[in-house]
């Protein structure tokens, strides 16, 4: 008569552990890999950011200092309306739209024709302060200076908040990319504030414009007579 085999408690624990590891490995292999998981994207990632560095504008002035050739130093160099400046010994150079590091490199390239590896420092003296423009259905439309970081929701509050005719769910953010192109971003401020999720609250860059359109009711409101309830006649149905 054959004896039935009964695994000891220790052996049984080992077998259970092996089975658990096997099934766990199988579950991991069937689970979607991180690369397969759709990446969460927000409109912020699609909205190209203009360089946060200041760009030289017509009307700005700057000083140019040559460490080894002080005879070429110039103060209060003014950027003309066409974006050009006139510099000693090199003539007219277009600098509008450049950042200070880019301007420094432009000047080095220009002066390298008459100086050997010039060391140049550029210091902005007078320039346009960072600003944003708020338009449409805000209490106080206009141009506002930016002191530090400002988001779309904060800019609306700076401009006096929404008017009663504003469409909170559609706030347009316009950002100029270059002389020919301007990007547009649509922000649902109503939904953002309702959820308490500020990830969509984009930071403004200098020169940005926000525009708040009218809501549907305010568009047709002027066509609705301002009558009391007692003035309405009951509809006669034949």
pLDDT tens digits along 96-113: 989 999 999 999 999 999
Q: Where are the domains of the chain?
A: 61-126, 131-222
* 61-126 homologous superfamily: wza like domain (3.30.1950.10)
Question: What is the arithmetic mean of pLDDT over 47-74?
Answer: 83
Joined together, the tokens standing for residue 125 give 């003296």
Residue 150 backbone dihedrals phi, psi, to 5 degrees: -135, 130
Q: Specify the fold of 131-222.
A: Outer membrane lipoprotein wza fold like (3.10.560)
> What pLDDT sits at residue 37?
37
Q: Is the pLDDT of residue 173 over 60?
A: yes
pLDDT band at 192 (very low <50, low <70, confident <90, very high): confident
* 131-222 matches 61-126 in CATH topology: no
CA-angle at 192, arms to 190 and 197, nearest 5°: 160
pLDDT tens-place string over residues 139-160: 999 999 888 889 999 999 999 9
Q: Is the pLDDT of residue 27 over 90?
A: no
Question: What residues contact residue 235 under an 8 Å CB cut-off, 6+ apart?
Answer: none
Q: What is the 3-state secondary structure (H, E, C) of 135-146?
A: EECECCCEEEEC
Torsion sign (Cα): 152, 157, 160, 165: positive
> What pLDDT sits at residue 126?
82
């Amino acid at each position: 008569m054959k004896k039935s085999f009964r695994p000891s408690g220790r052996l049984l624990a080992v077998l259970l552990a092996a089975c658990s590891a096997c099934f766990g490995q199988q579950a991991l292999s069937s689970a979607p890999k991180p690369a397969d998981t759709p990446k969460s994207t927000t409109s912020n990632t699609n909205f190209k950011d203009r360089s946060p560095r200041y760009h030289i504008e017509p009307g700005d002035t700057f000083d140019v200092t040559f460490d080894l050739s002080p005879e070429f130093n110039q103060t209060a160099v003014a950027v003309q309306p066409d974006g050009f400046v006139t510099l000693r010994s090199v003539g007219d150079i277009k600098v509008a739209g450049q950042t200070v590091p880019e301007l420094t490199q432009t000047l080095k390239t220009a002066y390298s024709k008459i100086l050997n590896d010039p060391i140049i420092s550029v210091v902005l003296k007078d320039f346009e302060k960072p600003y944003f423009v708020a338009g449409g259905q805000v209490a106080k439309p206009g141009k506002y200076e930016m002191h530090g970081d400002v988001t779309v929701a904060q800019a609306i509050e700076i401009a006096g908040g929404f008017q009663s005719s504003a469409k909170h769910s559609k706030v347009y953010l316009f950002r100029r990319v270059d002389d020919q192109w301007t990007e547009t971003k649509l922000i649902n401020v109503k939904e953002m504030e309702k959820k308490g999720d500020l990830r969509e609250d984009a930071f403004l860059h200098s020169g940005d414009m926000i525009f708040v359109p009218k809501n549907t009711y305010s568009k047709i409101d002027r066509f609705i007579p301002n009558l009391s309830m007692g003035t309405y006649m009951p509809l006669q149905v034949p």
